[in-house]
A and B are shown apart, each in its own frame.
Chain A
Amino acid sequence: MTNIWHNAGARGKLLCLLLLAVLVATPLAADRYLLSVLILVFYFAYLGQAWNLLMGFAGQLSLGHALYLGLGAYTATALWTLFGIGPWLGVFIAIPVAAAAGMFVGWLGWRFAIEGVYFALLTIAFAEFTRIGFDHLQVTGASAGLFLSVNSPGSDKWWNLGGGPLLYYYLALILAAGATFLVAYLRQSPLGYRWLAVREDPEAARAVGIDIFRARMIAMLFSASMTAVGGVFYGFYYRNLFPSQVFDIGRSIELILAPIIGGLGTIFGPVVGALILTPLGESLTALMEALGINAPGVKLIFYGLMLMVIISLRPDGVWPWLARRLGLSGARK
């Protein structure tokens, strides 16, 4: 860990600490609405880190991360509503469930040399398959949804992941910051270098003795596990789950936006992407409401246009460019 910190450069260290300090202090001055927007920013930064690990570092395109998000959310929520097992314990069951699903998808795909577009479609197929399955699973309420009661005893206590916006704010901040440090650590570990080798040239990586399959599987393990934790957060933050929302392909696409806009394969890309995209999207929604236009799709149209513009003009994302402007190192891909 000291190694990453050491390599960050003086200006980078300063900016990092400053940003963290500002974010920790924000609730002192912010209202509920601003907090809710920032919670979303952290949430997308966190999930972006998880996805970027697999795509940005190991080079495997998954368009089905909603599967791990949904499995994490459903496992923890169902454990709480059905058996009274709290989320702090439930998360340790949610992680293996999602990780097992991820390993299965990865094993099926990479064992049989299904790569690129084919792999992406395999991930979508699994997510859709699971969505329809949950639509018919009576235990978790099928398509009518699963709800967390707000009245049952203890449901508003922090140890059951209930309470006011402050709890979710700091939890999301810890998740996003923690994930960023984890990714930075992994990036400069031997494992990280193996991922980059596999991403850049699988054949050459194999030739120098890297077990490609293993490297990809480990990336999937981390990515799916982290996404599942995000799912637990999702479940207890929104307190209602519908298969058509949690497992939807729209979820999978939504969580890849921040890393792509910010910069694939960079450490701060997902953070920067989430910081740019979420407030823009939310203010657009607020603007539409203020103007009295009922157009829920406008935010998504805007996101779609952003995707097209960024990938056409700056496929490396915003962060590498921004980092150069700010004179920061560590923006290398």
Chain B
Amino acid sequence: MAITLNVIVQGVLTGLVYGLMALGLSVIFGVMRVVNFAHGEFTVIAMYAAFILFEMLGLQPLIVLLPIAAAFFVVGYLLQRSLISPFVGRAEHEQFILLVGLATVIVNGLLLVFGPDARPINLPYSFDSYAIGSLFIDKVRVYAALGAFAVAAALFLFFRYTRTGTAIRACADNLTGAAVVGLDVKQLYAVTFGLGLACVGAAGTLMATIADASPSLAQAYTLLAFTIVIIGGLGSMVGALVGGVLIGVSEALAGFYIQPSMKSMFSFALLIIVLVLRPQGLLGRRL
């Protein structure tokens, strides 16, 4: 029982980081209806960024979290302004194909530059853990989960209380109405994509402390993000975090009790069950 509880707690902590990654996807889709199929690829770029900054300059991931997120915001903003903007409102499969192309370029570019080997970040506290009774919790996971939670909370507050956040929500609710009252939709979309990628940048940086960066993770993370967002409900911000925790726990349990290499099978099974029983997701609005 104590072991199971340990596994579950680790799963919840990892799941929060997954949730932050998925949150980025959810924000982008919820507002623009654009499916970012290169999501995991961007996550892995952030992991490599954290790895390089740590190896070259000795900067710890928690310190570079915000700078990397800011850089990703800029990348996302520019990407939306240049490449993706013409695709807003076009057929779903065309957006999908554009981003599949982008994902292919990124993942093979990473492979070309960094090679296929996994790159771990060895922090001084990598192997420390907190002991609470019979629970042993990895220090890195606690920090990563706290970081993910803080970024997610900041995003919630932004959407709830700032003028720009409210304007973006207006675009998501009623695009025509938003345009009629004079909101600069193109600008707001670019900000949204930037925010989505900022989430990814932060999530990738945190992920780098609990998983080793490698190009082969990219596709798996893209699928993971989609699985989480669909389970939680596309467009629902709380849903993304809940879905992330759910998948984190399911992966941890399957990895521990069955086989680590089979853990994503259970995530896909969960996805299929949710798609069939509740296509709008656990916390999504009715389709």
A: residues with CB less than 8 A from B are 55, 61, 63, 108-109, 112-114, 116-118, 120-122, 124-126, 128-129, 132-133, 135-136, 249-250, 253, 256, 260, 295-298, 300-301, 303-308, 311-312, 315
Contacts and interface: CB of A to CB of B under 8 A. Distances in A.
Given A118-B279, A132-B261, A300 B92 contact: no
Contacts of A114: 275, 279
17 contacts: A112-B276, A113-B287, A116-B93, A118-B230, A122-B272, A124-B223, A132-B262, A136-B261, A295-B112, A297-B109, A303-B101, A305-B105, A306-B101, A307-B100, A308-B83, A312-B86, A312-B87
B96 A308 contact: no
A44 to B, nearest CB: 16
B112 A108 contact: no
Given A114-B275, A132-B264, A301 B112 contact: yes
Given A108-B272, A116-B92, A260 B97 contact: yes
Interface residues of B, number: 39
Nearest to A55: B93
Given A305-B105, A307-B97, A308-B105, A128 B287 contact: no
B227 interface: yes
Interface in B97-145: 97-98, 100-105, 108-109, 111-112
Given A128-B268, A132-B265, 9 more contacts: A63-B96, A109-B275, A121-B230, A122-B275, A125-B272, A135-B261, A300-B108, A301-B104, A304-B103
A305 B97 CA distance: 11
A79 to B, nearest CB: 25
Contact of A308 (B101, B223, B259): B101
Nearest to B272: A125
Contacts of A298: 108, 112
B219 interface: yes
A112 B101 contact: no
Contacts of B269: 129
B226 interface: yes
Contacts of A135: 261
B279 A117 contact: no
A304 B272 contact: no
User: Which secondary structure dominates where chain A touches chain B?
Assistant: helix
A59 to B, nearest CB: 9
Nearest to A116: B92
A136 B105 CA distance: 30
Name the prevailing secondary structure of the B interface residues. helix
Interface of B: 35, 83, 86-87, 90, 92-94, 96-98, 100-105, 108-109, 111-112, 219, 223, 226-227, 230, 259, 261-262, 264-265, 268-269, 271-272, 275-276, 279, 287
A312 B287 CA distance: 29
Closest 7 CB pairs of A and B: A304-B104, A307-B101, A297-B108, A304-B105, A308-B101, A129-B268, A300-B108
B104 A253 contact: yes
A307 B98 contact: yes
A128 B219 CA distance: 11
A123 to B, nearest CB: 11
B108 A253 contact: no
B104 A303 contact: yes
A301 B108 contact: yes
B272 A126 contact: yes
B181 to A, nearest CB: 29
Contacts of B279: 112-114, 118
B102 A308 contact: yes
Contacts of A307: 97-98, 100-101, 104
A157 B100 CA distance: 41
A304 B101 contact: yes
A136 to B, nearest CB: 6
B145 to A, nearest CB: 26
A265 to B, nearest CB: 11
A301 B264 contact: no
A55 B96 CA distance: 13
A311 B226 CA distance: 22
Contacts of B265: 129, 132-133
Contacts of B276: 108, 112
B123 to A, nearest CB: 30
A112 B275 contact: yes
B96 A120 contact: yes
B96 A117 contact: yes
B230 A297 contact: no
A301 B96 contact: no
A129 B150 CA distance: 33
